Amino acid sequence: MPMTNRKGSQYKGMSVAIVTPLKDDQLDVPRLREQVEFQIAAGTVCLVPVGTTGESPTLSHEEHERVISEVVQIAAGRIKVMAGTGSNSTAEALRLTRWAAKEGADASLQVAPYYNKPTQEGFYQHFKAIAEDVGLPICVYNIPGRTGKNIEPETIARLAEIPNITMVKEATGSLDQCSQVLNTTDLTVLSGDDSLTLPMMSVGAEGVISVAGNIVPGDLIKLVSAALRGDYASACQIHHRLFPLCRDMLGLATNPIPVKAAMKLLGRDTGELRLPMTPLDEKQLLQLTKTLQAYGLL
């Protein structure tokens, strides 16, 4: 299986699903600017605003659009921007994707329609409608733990025939599904789970859209770079160092509760969340603090 010549290879490497900073329940634009500059300085390949980590489900449409616009403007061509513009309503996903294209985003992250659990044909028609309407490269985001339904590999193979569907953010937790997508398509696969990045790259994935990259982008970049050049001994060492941190980011509570708590402890965010997201309890916060201390961050 060739590692080169995949449709979305310009997005290989370490991308970061950035948080949406809030202050007094409003978008904190100065802090957002800091987050973008922090990632650019780290050498991150691409910013992914208003995804799961960016609390897109609780942002108003106006806020969602504004985050995309602000990130594109702050990035100013120095780093790629893949805007989260998916929805369980095809019309809403189209509206957001058109907005991202108009504002100058480089690509679009399209989560599988959630809650209404379409058929496989429904998934196909949904992504096809968006791809044919907007010329941006599209990354199909498959996360059945959130959406309630898997986009089957056969459906992804059909979608791969559409020219501007170029990537899959693979968050099924299944190495077999990852392998099947790589076997049957020319799509670039990006891990949607930090702790599975190395295993997925060992079968041909080309990077990650990371949560832990909000905190330690440099270490994630080292991991992905080592795996891309085939240095699995080094990558494995970095993986095991990162593992407790990655585990806590997605295991202590629902993303982005732990990562926002970590960023607050590190002085990089207010930690503010929107209901129904609530902060870590005392026991969880103690566990997170210990993990950050063990990593050498606190």
- Residue 109 in this model has a pLDDT that exceeds 80: yes
Q: What span, in angstroms and rounded, lies between the C-alpha atoms of 193 and 196?
A: 5
Q: pLDDT tens across 72-107, in order? A: 999 999 999 999 999 999 999 999 999 999 999 999
> What does the radius of gyration of the chain's CA atoms come to, in whole angstroms?
18
Query: Nearest-CA neighbor of 72 among 33, 42, 15?
Result: 33
**CB-CB contact of 164 with 137 (8 Å):** yes
Do residues 48 and 15 touch, judged by C-beta distance below 8 A?
Answer: yes
Catalytic residues: 141, 169
Per-residue pLDDT, averaged over 261-284, amounts to 98
In tens, the pLDDT along 122-175 reads: 999 999 999 999 999 999 999 999 999 999 999 999 999 999 999 999 999 999
Q: Domain-by-domain residue ranges, the chain?
A: 10-230
Instruction: Give per-residue pLDDT as tens, 196-239.
Output: 999 999 999 999 999 999 999 999 999 999 999 999 999 999 99
The whole-number average pLDDT for the span 9-19 is 98
CA distance 179 to 174: 9
Say whether pLDDT at 2 is over 70. no
- The encoded tokens of residue 284 equal 């969880």
Which pLDDT score, from 0 to 100, does residue 1 have?
42
Share of the chain above pLDDT 90, in %: 98
Residue 61 pLDDT more than 70? Answer: yes
Instruction: Provide the Cα torsion 189, 191, 196, 197; round to 10°.
Output: 80
At 11 the pLDDT is: 98
Instruction: Determine the pLDDT at residue 5.
Output: 84
Predicted local distance difference test score (pLDDT) of residue 4: 61
> Which pairing describes strands 26-27 and 22-23: parallel, antiparallel, or unpaired?
antiparallel
According to the model, what pLDDT value does residue 294 have? 98
Q: Would you say residue 295 has pLDDT above 50?
A: yes
Contacts for 135 with CB less than 8 Å, ≥ 6 apart: 101, 164
Q: Which uninterrupted H or E stretch holds 79?
A: none
Q: Any long-range contacts for 23-26 (C-beta under 8 Å, 24+ apart)? A: 23/270, 23/272, 24/272, 25/272, 25/274
pTM over 0.85: yes
262-269 average pLDDT score: 98
Query: What fold does the segment set 10-230 form as a domain?
Result: TIM Barrel (3.20.20)
pLDDT at 178: 98
Q: What mean pLDDT comes out for the span 256-266?
A: 98
CA distances to 210, 235, 264 from 76, rounded to whole Å, are 21, 32, 27
178-190 residue pLDDT tens: 999 999 999 999 9
Task: Provide the token pair at 161.
Answer: 């025939």
pLDDT of residue 111: 98
Query: What is the C-alpha separation between 39 and 41, in angstroms, rounded?
Result: 5
Mean pLDDT, the chain, as a whole number?
Answer: 97
Q: In a 10 Å sphere around its CB, with 0-12 CB exposed, 13-18 middle and 19+ buried, how is residue 4 labelled?
A: exposed
For residue 178, the one-letter residue type is C
Give the N- to C-terminal CA distance of the chain in Å, as an integer.
43
Question: What pLDDT score was predicted for residue 99?
Answer: 98
